[in-house]
Amino acid sequence: MSVFKGAGVAIVTPFHNDGSVNYEKFEELIEFQIQNGTDAIIVCGTTGESSTLTHEEHLDVIKFCAQKVNKRVPVIAGTGSNCTSTAVYLSTEAEKYGVDGLLLVTPYYNKATQNGLFEHFKKVADSVKLPIILYNVPSRTGCNIMPQTAVKLCTEVSNIVGIKEASGNISQVAKLASLAQGKVDIDIYSGNDDQIVPILSLGGKGVISVLSNVAPRQTHEICAKFFEGDIVGSYNEQLRAIELFDALFCEVNPIPVKEALNLMGKEVGPTRMPLSKMEDANVEKLRIAMKNYGIL
């Protein structure tokens, strides 16, 4: 069984102006997501600024999220690292908090070989019993999980069950689906909001979404309509959001989506350095896109 099916939000981590985690706002965001039909919450991923959280903060945020969600929807914790022992530590601790799965990003900066990636992910997976979704985002990590490696991991490691594909390479996703067909079930999730429908059409199970932070109901509907057989309704909803997708990624994620939430009055605070304040011209672009989409 899949960890989740549909639209999972890669939820932001709200901060006070002094940079500390704003847990009161975080609880509000969690409730906003659940009330608006999100299918899962992915905590401490890229959008959650996990790279600038201390290990203590990282685990506190995961624990808080798991407690507040309280099994109403699945919680998947981002516990990846470019240090294998750190990834093991974060993963084993997160498992104690009752999360439903783990998201493991490809080790960044090290640029491991495909054999190195296999050994890294297997080592982390063997340390826990939770189902694991790999996270392939080569534009950030400098390292690509090749389809053959993903299939081998899902075949030989029982609790590695899926992959968040954010390579942007639909041909690679098609190759992955083809290699897996008839051999092993791999839950493929889109890691790009503008490719939800294409990946669903290749057998994908959903999306791990930035858009869901500001439009959880609409993102859920893109997936739900597709699964119900309303393909036209699904891709119409996908295409309707293209202007907003572009605005949400006109600067590096999560700068725009935090700005969008602040424009909506959610008061999620700033990003942590080295991420910077959004440029004024891009704020205006985002504001127009949100108005055209109907969420501002």
Which of 61, 85, 79 is CA-nearest to residue 133? 79
Which of 123, 77, 80, 121 is CA-nearest to residue 98? 77
Amino acid at 176: L
| One-character DSSP codes across 23-47 | HHHHHHHHHHHHHTT-SEEEESSTT
Task: Given the residues 5, 25, 135, 293, select the one marked as catalytic.
Answer: 135
What's the number of CA atoms in the CB half-sphere (13 Å) around residue 251? 20
> What single DSSP character describes residue 278?
P
235 is catalytic: no
- Which residue is associated with the tokens 């006109």? 250
- Integer-rounded Cα radius of gyration of the chain: 18
Determine the Cα–Cα distance for residues 250 and 13; give it in Å rounded to an integer: 20
164 is catalytic: yes
Decide: 165 and 193 in contact? Cβ < 8 Å: no
Task: Given the residues 5, 164, 225, 266, select the one marked as catalytic.
Answer: 164
Give the pairing type, strands 101-105 and 6-10: unpaired
21 in helix, strand or coil? strand
Other C-beta atoms within 10 Å of 171: how many? 9
The residues assigned a catalytic role are: 135, 164
